[in-house]
Amino acid sequence: MAEPTPALDFLVDRLPTPVGELMVVADREGLLRAVDWTDHEDRMLGLLRTQYRGQEISLTPADNPGGLADAFAAYFAGDVHAIDDLPVATGGTEFQRSVWQALRGVPCGETITYRELAGRAGRPAAIRAAGHANGSNPISIVLPCHRVIGTDGTLTGYGGGIERKRWLLRHEGVAV
């Protein structure tokens, strides 16, 4: 009989931001595992369950796990580079992780298209797949899915809503 897979007990802090309450989820080693808006908590839990199939996920309230909430507070207070080097860990497929790594390489204050994202992930023809992986990103803002825009420059899909995407881009100095 196979050993049961241990449950993943993540720590969660919630902090107010100018665009809604943010959840910051970390493991006990201080690695960022998820970031999402509290009005999308069910979606975030679904993404985590998908990434860590077969493992039970629990969220334990914690104050500033790994100093991550402080970094987000600094980001929203104007230090847009305060989150640049936060330690992260994700599940997901190899392709998803390649897309998420490509996202991390998009500098603050810049945007790229879905076509560019697919190319940076090493699969230039997989534009739709890159878009889907972008939408499955569990660590928004740090893996900056909001910096991906349509080929014509339009603001397209963002799990937190287009108005939050617009706010984040403006906050980072992008003219939208």
* Dihedrals phi, psi of 74, to nearest 5 degrees: -65, -40
Closest CA to 34 of 94, 91, 105, 108: 91
> 154 is written with which tokens?
């339009």
Catalytic residue among 25, 145, 148, 169: 145
Is 145 annotated as catalytic? yes
Q: Are strands 148-149 and 57-61 parallel, antiparallel or unpaired?
A: unpaired
Q: Packing angle between helix 127-135 and helix 94-104, nearest 10 degrees?
A: 80
- Looking at residue 169, its amino acid is L
C-alpha to C-alpha distance for 42 and 27, rounded to whole angstroms: 19
What count of Cα atoms within 13 Å lies in the side-chain half-sphere of residue 85?
0
Q: Do residues 155 and 149 make contact, with C-beta atoms less than 8 angstroms apart?
A: yes
Q: Which residues are catalytic?
A: 145
